[in-house]
Amino acid sequence: MTNSKFGKNTICTHVGEVEDTQFKGAISPIYMSTSYAYEDVEVKRYPRYFNTPNQEMLDKKIAALEGTEAGMIFGSGMAAVSTALLAFLNAGDHIVLQKTLYGGTFNLVEEEFSKMGIEYTFTDGLAREDFEKAIQANTKVLYIETPSNPLMTITDMQMIAEVAKSKGIVTMIDNTFASPVNQNPAQYGIDIILHSATKYMGGHSDILAGAVAASNAHMEQIWHKAKNLGGSLSDFSVWMLERSLKTLVLRVKQQNKNAKKLAKWLDKKEEIQAVYYPGLKSHPDYELAKSQMSGFGGMLSFELSEELDTAAFLKELKLIKPSMSLAGVESTILSPTQTSHALLSAEERKHQGINDGLLRFSVGIEDKEDLIADLEQALEKVVKDSLNFSI
């Protein structure tokens, strides 16, 4: 089934299934073979060509969820990001990237692009003029991330598409934090949509994968680069991801609800000096987020008051796991300085507004009352310890 005009729950459940023609099973069978016939066949299949039966059908689900002509699944989010970027950038080309980005993407650009002769500019801000003044005659790609990791800044997707199309520039977006449930950038004119499918698409902290959604023409260009770089995904992981995507909408909608409740609760606590969540009316990009997102997401960040020990707070949590990565059904929390943005220098983190005390909170599907109780007890303990220390 490939119809992308269904509702998203139906797309998640049915589009991109591999039909079990032999036994008529209710779910997709797994085709684990790494060797397929090449004579008298319509498609010469090979895992590194991204066209095994499970890969090919999952690509259709990805495309249907994002409302694009084509999709492609990769071995990791960074495999998807790096392959897409290198498909459109060569020596002598230039790329403009927004200043607030996932640390892995930032590090890829900083460490590798100069070696390849690719020029780059990070914007000073997220307004139209910030992007326009960064564009050069040799600019080929304009790259954004919204909501951004970890400060949840929001970039105007329609504005980006307008600026880029007026100059014949390809646009790319990291849509991981929103997921296809909360926003579909293709609706706003963005050309290439990227995901760490490890996150919301997988949703259970047990799959490493990446995804790209784009037009047929753009995907053809990405595929030619992908088959040379070799970032394909094993068919067992493809099958696991297709299974996980069946509950994507249900999971994300619950995470949206929980995150909004928790952001409001944190925002009222005197022990918390800042909360970053686009669903708060106090967020500077609230109106923009509301205009281009159907849900505000399950991700938020916050900072404790300066006198409180952030590391001690994390150790006091009982239910919420201090853990790498994000977007599983379980709630997790981490310090970006020590994890996702550890590869950035202190100066680079400061430029992006990432303080050492910042905590990124991936809200799960648990009962919100239990999550609030866990945060409350941890706060009470670090406040008590802080008072005892001051005495």
User: Amino acid identity of 168?
Assistant: G
Residue 341, burial from CB neighbour count under 10 angstroms (0-12, 13-18, 19+): buried
Rounded CA gap, 368 and 383, in Å?
Answer: 22
Contacts of 169 (CB under 8 A, 6+ apart): 135, 139, 140, 141, 142, 163
Q: Is 143 a catalytic residue?
A: no
Q: At what angle do helices 368-390 and 248-267 cross, to 10 degrees?
A: 30
Cis peptide before 150 (omega within 30 of 0): yes
In sequence order, what DSSP letters do the residues of 189-239 get, joined into one string?
Answer: T-SEEEEETTTTTT-SS----EEEEE-HHHHHHHHHHHHHHT----HHHHH
Contact 12, 246 (CB under 8 A): yes
**Considering 140, 199, 251, 260, which one is annotated as catalytic?**
199
DSSP for residue 19: P
Strands 299-304 and 272-276 come out as: antiparallel
Please tell me which residue in 99, 102, 191, 277 is annotated as part of the active site: 102
CB 77 within 8 A of CB 175: no
Active-site residue, from 59, 93, 174, 285: 174
Is position 174 annotated as part of the catalytic site? yes
Residue 1, CA distances (Å) to 12, 67, 251, 356 in order: 11, 15, 23, 48
d(CA 326, CA 14): 26
Nearest alpha-carbon partner for 262 in 352, 360, 384: 360
Q: Which two tokens stand for residue 74?
A: 């990769």
Q: Is 48 a catalytic residue?
A: yes
- Which residues are paired to 97 by β-bridges? 122, 143
Q: Is the dihedral of CA 128, 133, 136, 139 positive or negative?
A: negative
* Annotation says 199 is catalytic: yes
Helix (H, G, I), strand (E, B) or coil at 378: helix
For residue 247, the number of C-alpha atoms closer than 13 Å in the C-beta half-sphere is 12
The residues that are catalytic are 48, 102, 174, 199
